[in-house]
């Protein structure tokens, strides 16, 4: 017991040091805020936060987990932004949706969140200036691209200023405490695809009804004891639902990528990614001409998606992600060659690789 009391005294002393350092950090943040009011930068600087986080992780001896460091500093960043100015973040879906969780993972609790009914609404709120930033899903490791998000970049001139990778853990949620009571499952189409095998094995006779989002499925399930929804633990808590089954996704490595949308480019960090949208001319070898400059300059392609342009038959946009910053000499030359050989090129943004 004496040893325990002594260790706790040491922890208490360390906590006091941490609070003193946080106060000192807050004083420095306020000085930064004064400079930013004179035009020295935006409140949210994804490049700066990425660099700070990377440096802190490097200085750690590994005793405190890296995920823990990121979680702690996410809230420090969030509070530091709030000391300068309250920022507003629009996200797709209702509170407790996965997009809401992704937004909170990046922006923390000291942020004003704006739930939106559609991905288009998120784009519109940011473009109008009603929200400082927007968060939208872009692709899932199991089910692939969220096509509607890509479509919006053809109509809006927003920038991708950061990205968030969120591990998805689906849970079956219900007012009931017994799986045998479930007659109806409300589920988003992508979530249904991610949990197909589990649903067929465990609820083969249940009626599957489409919900516009995972949080919406939880809301609907809360109205009927014989129904269930699929969502995160936060949704279970928010809508006072029981978790009948945990981690029901078919693939254990189930991750969704989200874009953070803003009006300005992120700064260079040295570990960046660039996204472009290309309208390819209708000619033989068009895709080859798109990829050739990236290969020529040794640029690592990380993703490519195609979408119909909607302007005429067999006319497509290609969305391409690759390593590097838009002003890097090799990246700049590659984009120039793609523009010359392929047609219309729109740079969607360069942003830190978290």
Write out pLDDT tens, residues 70-109.
999 999 999 999 999 999 999 998 888 889 999 999 999 9
User: Do 287 and 336 have their domain in common?
Assistant: yes
What local confidence, expressed as pLDDT, does residue 196 receive? Answer: 94
Instruction: Tell me whether residue 151 is in a domain.
Output: yes
User: Do 241 and 280 have their domain in common?
Assistant: no
Dihedral sign for Cα atoms in the order 105, 107, 111, 115: negative
Residue 32 confidence (pLDDT) above 90? no
Instruction: Tell me whether residue 338 is in a domain.
Output: yes
User: Do 178 and 128 have their domain in common?
Assistant: no
Distance, CA of 286 to CA of 144 (rounded, Å) = 23
How many other C-beta atoms are found inside a 10 Å radius of the C-beta of residue 109?
11
User: Do 190 and 164 have their domain in common?
Assistant: no
Asked which of 206, 231, 262 is the last residue of a domain, the reply is 262
How many other C-beta atoms are found inside a 10 Å radius of the C-beta of residue 151?
17
Q: Are 189 and 228 in contact (CB under 8 A)?
A: no
Report the CATH number that the domain containing residue 206 is assigned in CATH: 3.40.190.10
What local confidence, expressed as pLDDT, does residue 325 receive? Answer: 97
Q: At a CB cut-off of 8 Å and minimum separation 6, what does 277 contact?
A: 150, 153, 154, 317, 318, 319, 320, 345, 346, 348
Instruction: Tell me whether residue 52 is in a domain.
Output: no
Q: What is the mean pLDDT of the chain?
A: 91
What local confidence, expressed as pLDDT, does residue 1 receive? Answer: 62
Instruction: Tell me whether residue 179 is in a domain.
Output: yes
User: Do 198 and 127 have their domain in common?
Assistant: no
Is pTM, for the whole model, over 0.85?
yes
Instruction: Tell me whether residue 305 is in a domain.
Output: yes
User: Do 282 and 340 have their domain in common?
Assistant: yes
The residue ranking higher by pLDDT, 307 or 45, is 45
What local confidence, expressed as pLDDT, does residue 307 receive? Answer: 82
Asked which of 213, 236, 262 is the last residue of a domain, the reply is 262
Residue 282 confidence (pLDDT) above 90? no
Q: Summarize pLDDT for 155-213 with one digit per residue, the tens.
A: 899 999 999 999 989 999 999 999 999 999 999 998 999 999 999 999 999 999 999 88
User: Do 239 and 305 have their domain in common?
Assistant: no
Residue 293 confidence (pLDDT) above 70? yes
Instruction: Tell me whether residue 45 is in a domain.
Output: no
Q: What percent of the chain has pLDDT over 70?
A: 95
What local confidence, expressed as pLDDT, does residue 310 receive? Answer: 64
Distance, CA of 68 to CA of 105 (rounded, Å) = 12
User: Do 190 and 234 have their domain in common?
Assistant: yes
Distance, CA of 273 to CA of 319 (rounded, Å) = 13
Token readout for 51 is 């660099």
Residue 144 confidence (pLDDT) above 80? no
What local confidence, expressed as pLDDT, does residue 40 receive? Answer: 54
Q: Which domain holds residue 335?
A: 272-352
Q: Summarize pLDDT for 243-280 with one digit per residue, the tens.
A: 999 999 998 888 999 999 999 989 999 999 999 999 87
Asked which of 208, 232, 262 is the last residue of a domain, the reply is 262
User: Do 163 and 184 have their domain in common?
Assistant: no
| Total structural domains within the chain | 3
What local confidence, expressed as pLDDT, does residue 33 receive? Answer: 85
User: Do 160 and 175 have their domain in common?
Assistant: no
pLDDT band at 53 (very low <50, low <70, confident <90, very high): very high
User: Do 137 and 175 have their domain in common?
Assistant: no
What local confidence, expressed as pLDDT, does residue 269 receive? Answer: 95
Instruction: Tell me whether residue 107 is in a domain.
Output: yes
Instruction: Tell me whether residue 83 is in a domain.
Output: no
Q: Are 213 and 188 in contact (CB under 8 A)?
A: yes
Report the CATH number that the domain containing residue 342 is assigned in CATH: 3.30.70.260
């Amino acid at each position: 017991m004496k040893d325990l009391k002594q260790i706790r005294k040491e922890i208490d002393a360390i906590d006091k040091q941490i609070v003193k350092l946080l106060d000192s950090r807050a004083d420095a943040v306020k000085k930064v805020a004064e400079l930013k009011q004179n035009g020295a930068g935006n409140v949210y600087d994804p490049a700066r936060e990425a660099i700070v986080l990377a440096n802190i992780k490097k200085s750690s001896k590994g005793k405190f987990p890296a995920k823990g460091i990121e979680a702690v500093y996410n809230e420090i960043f969030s509070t530091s932004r709030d000391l300068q100015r309250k920022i507003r973040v629009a996200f797709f879906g209702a509170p407790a949706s996965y997009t809401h969780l992704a937004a909170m993972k990046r922006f923390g609790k000291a942020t004003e969140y704006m739930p939106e009914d559609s991905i288009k609404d998120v784009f519109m709120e940011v473009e109008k200036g009603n929200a400082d930033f927007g968060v939208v899903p872009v692709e899932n490791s199991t089910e692939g691209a969220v096509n509607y998000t890509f479509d919006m970049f053809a109509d809006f001139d927003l920038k991708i200023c950061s990205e968030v990778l969120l591990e998805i853990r689906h849970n079956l949620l219900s007012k009931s405490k017994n799986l045998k009571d479930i007659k109806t499952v409300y589920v988003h189409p992508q979530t249904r695809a991610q949990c197909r095998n589990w649903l067929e094995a465990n609820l083969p006779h249940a009626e599957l009804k489409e919900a516009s989002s995972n949080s919406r499925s939880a809301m609907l399930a809360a109205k009927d004891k014989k129904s269930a929804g699929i969502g995160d633990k936060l949704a279970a808590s928010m809508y006072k639902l029981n978790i009948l089954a945990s981690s029901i996704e078919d693939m254990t490595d189930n991750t969704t990528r989200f874009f953070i949308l803003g009006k300005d480019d992120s700064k260079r960090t040295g570990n960046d990614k660039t996204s472009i949208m290309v309208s390819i001319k209708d000619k033989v070898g068009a895709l080859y001409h798109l990829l050739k400059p990236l290969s020529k300059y040794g640029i690592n392609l990380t993703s490519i998606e195609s979408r119909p342009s909607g302007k005429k038959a067999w006319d497509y946009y290609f969305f391409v992600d690759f390593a590097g910053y838009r002003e890097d000499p090799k990246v700049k030359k590659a984009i120039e060659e793609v523009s010359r050989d392929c047609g219309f090129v729109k740079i969607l943004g360069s942003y830190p690789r978290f």
